Amino acid sequence: MNLTRPPEEVRSAAEGEGPRMSDRSFIAACVQLCPGDDRAANLEQVRHGVQSARQQGAALVALPEYATFLHASGAAMRNNADAELADPALPKLQAMAREHAVWLLVGSLALPGLEGRLVNRSYLLSADGAVVASYDKIHMFDATLKGGRVIRESAAYAPGATAVLAETPWARLGLSICYDVRFPHLYRQLAQAGAEVLAIPAAFTRQTGSLHWRALLQARAIENGAFILAPATCGEHPGGHQTYGHAMVIGPDGQVLAEAGDAPQVVCARIDLDQVTNVRARLPSLTHDRAFQLATPA
């Protein structure tokens, strides 16, 4: 797995725009939305969410996966996907970042990729609206469910191949999307490369969300001694899709600092990076990985 680190020029620009606070802390917000197939209406939801987050003092605002368009039909997603430079949502999101002077994590947009497949791409925007980093979702959900229902996300989406670590004025941010949360090695590599905050924007299904969402997020926080920002979609979506909601901010010790419910909401929490330093000093497991062999039955 490749890992993209923030280049020096990005680090310098970020630090110039907003130096680290003396107490190494800032307020982060997770916006919970119920997007559908009306992009304009979705963007209006986003605008209200970003505005609310800014009013609560947030410097970094995170949006969920598929924040600007969500439909259960793969054909609908493809038919409404615009090329990156032509996507009508991205310039509006950049304008929102500038207007409210916040760093904005765009959980994901569905964009045309190669061979007729889409890519599920996340963006990190600076407070002046510049694209600081982007990440294509690596892990695809391919499964045969009970009753024979077959889901092949890889038939509609091309997987990414590069893990991305981005620099903000406050912390290094590891990027991921939804189903990635089930693959601990991704987050460990990000944390070992310097990530202090891990972003997991999602459109988690209602059924699996009620079983696994909180446990998976807390596990990723505890394993890596990192803060988790997990903005989420919620409610009913076109095509009969239901998502779980419960956007969360989780501390590096696994404590849930803020949690949304089942409806659209904005939750905020203070991210104190000294907590990352302290947790990793007490439990330095990121430095204790050892190579080993696997003995299998003869």
Which one of the listed residues 30, 34, 153, 178 is annotated catalytic? Answer: 178
Amino acid at position 295, single letter? A
CA 99: distance to chain centroid? 22
* Residue 137 a catalytic site member: yes
d(CA 124, CA 129): 9
Largest CA distance in the chain: 64
- What's the burial of 100, exposed, middle or buried (CB within 10 Å: 0-12/13-18/19+)? middle
| Residue 13 CB contacts under 8 Å (≥ 6 apart), including other chains | 126, 130
Spot the catalytic one: 137, 167, 196, 234.
Answer: 137
Give the list of residues 6+ apart from residue 178 with CB closer than 8 angstroms, or none. 65, 108, 137, 200, 201, 202, 203, 204
Half-sphere exposure of 275 (CA within 13 A, CB side): 20
Encoded amino acid at 265, one letter: Q
Are 80 and 35 in contact, with CB atoms under 8 Å apart? no
Q: Which of 65, 153, 196, 259 is catalytic?
A: 65
Catalytic residues: 65, 137, 178
